[in-house]
Amino acid sequence: MAGRTIGESPGGDLRVIALHGHDVACRVAGEGPALVLLHGIASDSGIWSAVLPGLAERHTVIAPDLPGHGMSDKPRGDYSLGALACGVRDLLAALGVERASLVGHSLGGGVAMQLAYQFPERVERLVLVSSGGLGREVHALLRAATLPGAEQALALLGRIGVLGAGAAAAGAVGRIGLRPSPDIAGIAESIATLADDGTRRAFLDTARAIIDPGGQRVGALDRLYLAAGMPTLILWGARDPLIPVSHAYAAHELMPHSSLEVFERAGHFPFRDDPVRFVTALSDFVASTAPADRDEAALRELLLAGGGTGT
């Protein structure tokens, strides 16, 4: 595959590829049908470390650091879902991957749905994990990032997270209603990254592209009917405090051919709460479904039938 390898780990090679003059980092492991793991906001590809080795036993796993995140560059520019989806498409093209199954967590779920909408010929299956873009409700912590003065508050939180190795930040998020590890651990890790100016700016640009003080302002509910021919699996934690599990049930109802699995004891990070179950569910789903076959005539019929909910 293209790019230069800058590190190795049990989770695969860490590579960097230059796209449009900016470095994009990604982890690559395993062999087999391509599986792309897309992380959430203020996170990076390392979030998948508990499940990546297991998934790599059957698949070529590609886990990028989305632009503005992790070891990828953080240029000033467009951090909308459409731009992020184009970035993933370009990365896959550079790696020589024509088609893949997409697995998106939180923000990554919104990116995965956008990519499937914009470039359906590249998507074989869709897996949404505690996904954004499926309803208005979202935790106040994320809504607050869109308010005036958020940059200064986030800079302070980021410095606290770094200085306290995440412990102080974990205590802070615990006091606003997030459950113990791995929810608190995941959010604390994200907060600690915001001490970096470029990361913090990219986080705010990304958050404000999809969220306003009232909640998520970008959604896919009115277009989910277009996924009728797309094998889709929805995975969610019943105790998710950031994006409620009710979004999973609503999306499942709007996608009659989708499969839904709720992790009863998990929060926003079901792949960290129960990695073995997550790997099994995802691997079985890929093995038991046929890749989507893009059909322009069927798409035209769906569009003309006006199957959207308008919700």
In the chain the first and final C-alpha atoms are separated, in Å, by: 42
Strands 60-64 and 34-38, bridge-based pairing: parallel
Residue with tokens 């990361």: 199
Rounded CA gap, 132 and 88, in Å?
A: 17
Residue 110 in 3-state DSSP? helix
Active site residue 22: no
Tell me which of 43, 45, 106, 258 is the catalytic residue.
106
Active site residue 69: no
Rounded CA gap, 228 and 161, in Å?
A: 43
Residue 125 in 3-state DSSP? strand
In sequence order, what are the beta bridge partners of 12?
9
292: alpha, beta or left? (left if phi > 0; alpha if psi -120 to 50): beta
Tell me which of 43, 268, 273, 274 is the catalytic residue.
268
Token reading at 291: 């890749």
Tell me which of 65, 73, 183, 240 is the catalytic residue.
240
Cis peptide before 291 (omega within 30 of 0): no
CB 47 within 8 A of CB 270: no
Q: What is the DSSP letter of 179?
A: P
Rounded CA gap, 161 and 169, in Å?
A: 5
Burial class of residue 305 in the structure, from the number of CB atoms within 10 Å of its CB (0-12 exposed, 13-18 middle, 19+ buried): exposed
Rounded CA gap, 244 and 134, in Å?
A: 10
Q: What is the DSSP letter of 178?
A: P
Alpha helices, DSSP H only, in the chain?
A: 52-55, 81-95, 107-118, 140-144, 150-163, 167-175, 183-193, 197-210, 246-254, 270-273, 275-288, 296-305
Active site residue 268: yes
Cα–Cα nearest to 102, from 126, 119, 132: 126
Active site positions, annotated? 106, 240, 268
